[in-house]
Chains A and B, each alone.
Chain A
Amino acid sequence: MTVIPLGVPRRLLEFTLDGEPVRAPEGSTILDACRAAGKDVPTLCEGDTLAPKNACRVCVVEVEGARTLVPACSRKAEPGMEVKTDTERARHSRKIVLELLASSVDLSTTPRVAGWIKEYEAKPDRFGPGAARLNEEPRVDNELYVRDYDKCILCYKCVDACGDQWQNTFAISVVGRGFDARIAVEHDAPLTDSACVYCGNCVEVCPTGALSFKSEFDMRAAGTWDESAQTETTTVCAYCGVGCNLTLHVQDNEIVKVTSPHDNPVTHGNLCIKGRFGYQHVQNRD
C-alpha cells in the first residue's frame, strides 16, 4: 500500500510583508513567507534540512516594534506582524555581515555569496591588510573528506547534522570561544581518532565548502573540478534494503561525489558511509 503523506491542515495567519498583506500557514518562518512571495532574502546558515542556529545574521529583516532586527530564517511569523525585508537598516547589517565574513574567511566556494557582496556593495578589503583572518591549512587526515576551516563561517550546521538533528554521533563540536571558536573533534584530534563514522552528512550540509569530499578537494587542487561538465543521476542505493536515494555526480565518466536529495522522505539528504563513499567498486574496471 502506498502511503500518501498528507500534511496536517494548518491555519493561515495574516501579516504584512513589505506593506503587502500575506497569508502563511501557522508555524512558518518569516523566511518561508518571503520565499513564497518570491522575495530573495540572502541566507548562509539556514539549511533546508536543519533547524537553523540563526548565527550568520545575513537574513535579518525589520519587524515593526522590535528593538533589533530579527533573523527571518528562524523567527516565526505572527498574526499582524509588519515585516520589512529591504530597508536601509536591514541592508546595512547584511552588508556589514558580508564584509565581516569575507574579510575573515575564504568564501570562494560559497555559492551565491559573490552576488550578494556585489548587490550589497560590501567591501571586505576596507578593514585593511592587517585584519585578522583564520588562515588555517586544510586538514587532510583521511581518504573520505577534508576539513578546510579557513572557509568555515561557524554556521553550526555540521554540528547539528552530526548531533541531535540527524546523525546522533556527536563527533564534532564548536570549541573555544569568540573569534577563536572552531569546529573540532574531542581534544582537537585528527578525525581518524574521533567518533566520526564517515557518513558525510556534515559535508552534505556545509554551505561554504569548508567540508568537502576528498575527491572534490583533490580535483579542485588539480584544477580539474568542473561542475558545468557534471551530470547528476539519482538512483537507489544497492547496499541495503532501506532504499536511500543516491545522486551520483559524474564528470568524465567518473563518479566524483554522491549526495542525496534533501526532499527525499527516506534520507532527507542523509546517507551512511557506504552509500556516500562506497562507490569505487562501480568504476573499478581492473
Chain B
Amino acid sequence: MDLHFGDSKPTDEEKAAVDALLGPPESSWEGAARDEMTAADLRWARGGRAARERRDLLLPGLHAINDRIGWISDGALDYLCRRLTVPPAEAYGVATFYAMFSVQPRPATVLHVCTDLACAAAGAADLCAGIESRLGLGSGVSVERSPCLGLCERAPAALAIKAGDPVRTAVSAPATVEAAVLAASAPDSAEEEPPAVMAVPQAGGPGLTLLSRIGVVDATSLDDYRAHGGYSALRRAFEIGPAGVIREVTDSGLVGRGGAAFPTGRKWRATAEQPDRPHYLVCNADESEPGTFKDRVIMEGDPFALVESMTIAAYATGAHQGYLYLRGEYPRALRRLEHAIAQARARGLLGDDVLGQGYAFDIEIRRGAGAYICGEETALFNSIEGYRGEPRSKPPFPVEKGLFGKPTVENNVETLVNVLPILTTGAPAYAAIGTGRSTGPKLFCVSGSVDRPGVYELPFGATLGDLLALAGVRDRLRAVLLGGAAGGFVRPDELDIPLTFEGTREAGTTLGSGVVMAFDDTVPLPRLLLRIAEFFRDESCGQCVPCRVGTVRQEEALHRIVERTGAAAAGDIALLREVGRAMRDASICGLGQTAWNAVESAIDRLGAYE
C-alpha cells in the first residue's frame, strides 16, 4: 500500500484530540512533525502493519475529532489516517457515511430534533419551527432534523451535543422550544433527565423479570446490583460450564429479541463449535429502529445486568473479547455502561481472571455515529472494523466469519439479559412463561396516542389489546404500528392479535423488536407513511440498486399521492407494489427487504388511499 497524503495540516487542537485517543505519535512515519524527524526515524519505517492493525480505531478517532471540534476537517482526517495508516479516500468514505459527523465546517453545537413517528405525532414540526426561529444563523447552534432518538416515551425529543473537551450533551424530552434552546446553549445547566425508571410505567408492580431491578437498584453501584441478585447467574454458569449454559439457553427456547427471532441457543452452539480462533461476542445496542427504546432503558437502569450477561454469553461461546456497539445518540447509556464496566473490571468481574475462575473476558464499548443500518449484524462488524457500515452478503454467516473474519456471536441487549433469569430459575421454569413457541417475558416499547407510554414487560401471549389497555390507549384509535418502521400497521379491530412471534405471523404481521406505536385519527396517515419512506431512503446504505434507488422512487410516488385517493392514486400504488416486491426479493439486507412493509400494510390493512 503506498499512501498519499495531501498537504492539509491538523490544528493543534485536532492533533490533541487524536493523540488523546492514540497516544503521541512515536515517529514521523506515523504523524509526528517532519521537522522533528530523528536519526532513528530515518533508519526505521514505523507504522506499517502494527498501525494498520489498529484500523478499528478509525471510528473512535473520527468521534474524537468530531467530539472536540464539532466537525472533521481535511487536516484532521489526514492526520488520523497517518496515525493509523488508513488511506484518506477510505477514511473520507467512512466519515461521510455517518449522520453525526460532518466534513464541512459547522457550529460547535448541534441540536438534533427528532421528527420521527412518535415525535411527529407529538408536534415535532412546530417544535422544530419554533427552535429554528429562536436559533437562527449566528446562534452557534446547528439545528438538525433527526430520525428517532430512542426517547419516544417522552416525545417530542431533542438532543444537544456541544463539541469541546470534554464534549457536553443534554437531552430535552418532552421538549419545549425554551428547554431545547437552553439544552443547546447551556448543556451543563439544562434540566436533568428523568431517571430511567420513569420509562417503566409498571415499575414496582409484581411479576417483572427483566425490568425488576429498574428503579430499585442503584445503577451506579456494583454492590447494590449484587445485593439484588446480581452475579448469581454468572456463578451458576461457572458451575455448569460452557456446554451447560448452552444447553440451558437452548432448552429455554429463547429466540433473539433484535427483530429476526433466531434461536439463541443454536447460534451460541454453532459459534462455540467453530475451530477457528479467537471467537468474539458482540452486543448489538444500536437500537435505531424508530419507536424502540427498551435497550436504552435497560442500559441506563440496570447496566450491570448487561455486563453480567455478556460475560456469560462470552464464556459459553468461548470468546475472550466482547464489543458493545452502542448507538451514538445515547450519552447517558454510554456513561452508565462505561462506569459499570470499569467497576466490574476493578472488582475482578471482568479482566484476566473473572471471579477467580481462570477465565479471561473484557468488554470494549464502540459508539455508532448515526446510521440505522449499522444495527444490521454484518454492517455492525464493518463499522467496528473501520469500514463503511455496509452489510456483507451472507453466506458466510457471522458464526463462521464475523467480526475481523472470526466466529462471532451477536446478540441484542434484551436477548442477553434474558439469559440471567434462564440461569437463575432454570430452563424449564423460564420456558413455562409465554407460549410453546415464544417463551419467556418480552419487552414492548409503547408510544404514540397512549396515556402511559413506556417500556412494558409481559409474558409472550398477551394480546395487543391487553398491552394497549395497560398503556391507557386513547379514544379514536386509528392504527397501530407493530414492529417499528420495518414492521406493519394493524387496525383498531385487530387488537386480539396475540403478541407472540407465531401469532403475529399468522395475522400477517410481525413483532419485530417489540415496537407498538398507537396513532389516533388526528394523525394524518399519508404524512406518516411519507415519513417512513423518507426514513428508509435516508438510511439506505446505498450499496444495492433495489434499495438505493427503490426507496427514492417509492418516496416520490408517496409524495405524488399524499393528497390523493382511489383511482387518482391507483397508478402510483401499483408502482409502489412493483418496486416494493423487487426490493423485498432482491435487496442485499433486511433494510431494503423490509422497507416497504409498513406502507404496504397501511394500504392493504388500513385502506390508506381508498
The residues of A with any CB-CB pair to B shorter than 8 Å are 53-58, 60, 68-69, 71, 74, 89, 92-93, 95-97, 100-101, 103-104, 126-128, 130-132, 153-154, 156, 163, 168-181, 184-189, 193-195
Contact = CB atoms under 8 A, between A and B. Distances in A.
Nearest to A180: B542
A186 B593 contact: no
8 contacts: A55-B543, A57-B546, A97-B586, A184-B92, A184-B93, A185-B89, A186-B77, A195-B3
Given A56-B545, A178-B542, A68 B586 contact: yes
Specify which of B88, B550, B581 lies most central, judged by the most chain A CB atoms within 10 Å of its CB. Answer: B88
B542 A179 contact: yes
B579 A96 contact: yes
Nearest to A96: B582
Given A93-B546, A103-B553, A131-B556, A57 B6 contact: no
B582 A56 contact: no
Nearest to B550: A100
A54 B393 contact: yes
Contacts of B548: 154, 178-179, 181
Contacts of A54: 393, 544, 588
A184 B92 CA distance: 9
B567 interface: no
Contacts of A176: 96-97, 542
Contacts of B585: 60, 68-69, 89, 92-93
Given A178-B548, A179-B548, A187-B77, A93 B92 contact: no
Given A60-B585, A96-B586, 13 more contacts: A56-B544, A68-B586, A93-B546, A96-B578, A100-B550, A103-B549, A131-B553, A168-B1, A169-B2, A173-B92, A174-B542, A175-B97, A195-B2
A185 B4 CA distance: 11
Nearest to A181: B542
A1 to B, nearest CB: 33
A153 B88 contact: no
Contacts of B1: 168-170
Interface in B72-91: 74, 77-78, 87-91
Contacts of B424: none
Counting from the closest, the 4 A-B pairs by CB-CB distance are A170-B87, A195-B4, A181-B542, A173-B93
A128 B556 contact: yes
B584 A194 contact: no
Given A54-B588, A175-B96, A186-B92, A101 B537 contact: no
A185 B90 CA distance: 8
Interface string B538-563: 11111111101111110010001000
B274 interface: no
Contact of B581 (A92, A163, A170, A171): A92
